[in-house]
Amino acid sequence: MSEAESRDWAPGLRPLLEPETIRRRVVELGRQITEDFRGRELTALVVLKGSFVFAADLLRQIDLPLAVEFIGLRSYGSRTSTSGVVEITLDAKYPLVDKHVLIVEDIVDTGLTLSFLRENLATRLPASIRLAALLHKPARTVKPVPVDYLGFTIADEFVVGYGLDHDGRHRNLPGIALLDDPAQLRLFETENDSRGRVDQWK
């Protein structure tokens, strides 16, 4: 029996990517980014909220002079599919003119959000724009966006963990799980609130 199969999972969750699998890939991405930008200073633009765990791990693997900025984009709300409407809820604090910008995103699915962001950033006259994404769902592509540094390609299924959430929950899972039934999961969590946090990854 594999490690994933031996774990106890709450109803509605199935393991997809183990923590060690993610860790190894993040190390590889950090090395690649370091080599590609050797001799240059990099500005990481972290897209909140879902990418904060990925960004924290990735940026510590980049051996370069590094500045970090944050940007908030609203497109998902609490639903399991994007509305296609994007707005900036938190913007970078400092100008990006002549900066080598690395967007750090959790997941690319339709491409609408990232397309909006790249077009917006281009008006700020950076020296370059690259994209690092933990996950990509090509089956959902509406507007193709080039991903320069990709962690994993996945099928069109809703996932949680490692920063990704469903209705604000499960961001703290150290791995990534498939969310099979949002209604069933919400009911399970409501019933277990009085007993404290349910540990999905043991």
Domain for residue 135, yes or no?
yes
pTM score of the predicted model: 0.82
Domain for residue 25, yes or no?
yes
Distances (CA, A) of 52 to 81, 83, 103, 148, 192: 20, 22, 12, 19, 26
Give me the sign of the Cα torsion angle 11, 17, 19, 22. negative
Q: From CA 165, how far away is CA 177, in angstroms rounded?
A: 10
- Looking at the structure of the chain, the number of domains it has is 1
Range of the domain at 125: 19-155
Domain for residue 60, yes or no?
yes
Instruction: Name the pairing type of β-strands 42-48 and 100-108.
Output: parallel
Domain for residue 91, yes or no?
yes
Domain for residue 63, yes or no?
yes
Per residue in 61-92, pLDDT tens?
A: 999 999 999 999 887 443 445 556 788 999 99
132: domain CATH number?
A: 3.40.50.2020
- Reading the block at residue 26, the tokens are 């993040």
- Reading the block at residue 183, the tokens are 């209604």
User: Could you confirm whether 91 is annotated as catalytic?
Assistant: no
Domain for residue 189, yes or no?
no
Range 1-25 average pLDDT: 73
Domain for residue 186, yes or no?
no
Give pLDDT, residue 85.
Answer: 77
Per residue in 138-185, pLDDT tens?
A: 999 999 999 999 999 999 999 999 999 988 888 999 999 998 765 544
Catalytic residue among 57, 106, 109, 165: 109
Domain for residue 193, yes or no?
no
